[in-house]
Amino acid sequence: MLNAGSLCQLPKFIPMGQKDNRSIKVKYTFKVLAGLVFLSFVIVLLYWLFFVYEVRNIFAILLIIVFLVIPAFLSARTIPNEIRALIMIWKSDDPEALEKVLGDLREKERI
């Protein structure tokens, strides 16, 4: 039997200092997706610089390698670990603690 009180229930209140598990999972998912979008943008930029704009100056090529190629390579190496971490966070019952542990691992070992 339905009553008026059951139809008008308010959503669960979360105090300001606490985070919901879903919000942590969604935030981490957006962080991983934003990193993949940024990496793909850098790859498209490198393609454009070398094959469309045809950069041939040695100094410019060295700057591109130092500031675009090396960071893109280093971040591309971390993609499998980030995807594993994303899967672990989505399967976890306490994603906030897992996110802190993963953050500490990133600082120490650069996963």
Cβ neighbour number for residue 75 with a 10 Å cutoff: 15
Q: Which domain holds residue 103?
A: 21-109
Q: Which long-range contacts (CB under 8 A, 24 or more apart) does 17-24 make?
A: 19/96, 21/93, 21/94, 21/95, 21/96, 24/89, 24/95, 24/96, 24/99
Q: Is the pLDDT of residue 55 over 90?
A: yes
Q: Is residue 82 part of a domain?
A: yes
Q: How many domains does the chain have?
A: 1
Report residue 10 as tokens. Answer: 């308010």
Q: Is residue 16 part of a domain?
A: no
Q: What pLDDT digit, counting tens, does each position of 76-100 carry?
A: 999 999 999 999 999 988 888 888 8
Q: Is residue 94 part of a domain?
A: yes
pLDDT-derived band at 22 (thresholds 50, 70, 90) equals confident
pLDDT of residue 1: 52
pLDDT-derived band at 67 (thresholds 50, 70, 90) equals very high
pLDDT of residue 31: 92
Q: Is the pLDDT of residue 105 over 70?
A: yes
Contacts of 43 (CB under 8 A, 6+ apart): 72
